[in-house]
Amino acid sequence: MVPKTPMEIPDLVLDFIIPATNLAVRRLLHGLHLSLLSNGVAQPDVEHTELVLAEVLNNIVEHAYADRQRGSITMSAHLLQHALAVELTDNGAPMPKNHLPVGEHISKPAIYDLPEGGFGLQMIRALTEKLDYERDGEHNRLTIQIPRTQGAMC
């Protein structure tokens, strides 16, 4: 068995810089989806990754850049043997109190009380094994690790 090294060399590195818009997010996700599939990542893992990244990217567009006309998002994704490690940075507003909000668990509420938002963080937390946020000067930096559950080659 190969010992785990702290600086594993990724099988694939994907870097993106996009304007902070919903359509640019959609195009990035489409490109990432195809790249991961063609690099042997199993379909369910690709779909989980697309979902997690959609949620974090949408949050940046809708919250970090909520009051601004322009902004950009930088994303670097490293495909490792057992996970996809992703770093996202933006120059938008910081998270409230400089911390990730705690995901509220939605129990089965009455129909009129059903929330129409707040589902994103719940899904992010469920599908990631590592999630760190840091405010660095004028930047937000989010590091995420999404596990590969199937087909990782050893």
How far is 84 from 49, CA to CA, in rounded Å? 8
Does position 117 bind other proteins by CB under 8 A?
yes
By the 8 A CB rule, do 27 and 18 touch?
yes
Side-chain-facing half-sphere of 76: CA atoms under 13 Å? 8
Instruction: Give the separation between CA 62 and CA 85, rounded to whole angstroms.
Output: 23
Q: Is 54 in the site for other proteins (CB under 8 A)?
A: yes
Closest separation between CB of residue 7 and other proteins, Å? 32
Chain-centroid distance of CA 97 in Å reads 20
Residue with smaller CB distance to other proteins, 55 or 90:
55
Q: How far is the CB of 112 from other proteins (least distance, A)?
A: 7
Which 55-114 positions form the footprint of other proteins (CB under 8 A)?
A: 55, 58, 61-62, 106-108, 111-112, 114
- Closest contact distance (angstroms) between CB of 45 and other proteins is 11
Part of the chain binding other proteins (CB under 8 A), chosen from 11-19, 21-29, 71-79, 82-90: 21-29
> How near is the Cβ of 137 to other proteins at its closest, in Å?
28
> Are 88 and 60 a contacting pair, CB within 8 Å?
yes
- Distance separating alpha carbons of residues 65 and 21, to the nearest angstrom: 9
Query: Binding residues for other proteins, how many (CB under 8 A)?
Result: 31
Amino acid in the structure at residue 133? Y
The enclosing H or E element of 17 equals strand 12-19
Interaction site with other proteins (CB under 8 A): 22-23, 25-26, 29, 44, 47-48, 50-51, 54-55, 58, 61-62, 106-108, 111-112, 114-120, 122-123, 126-127
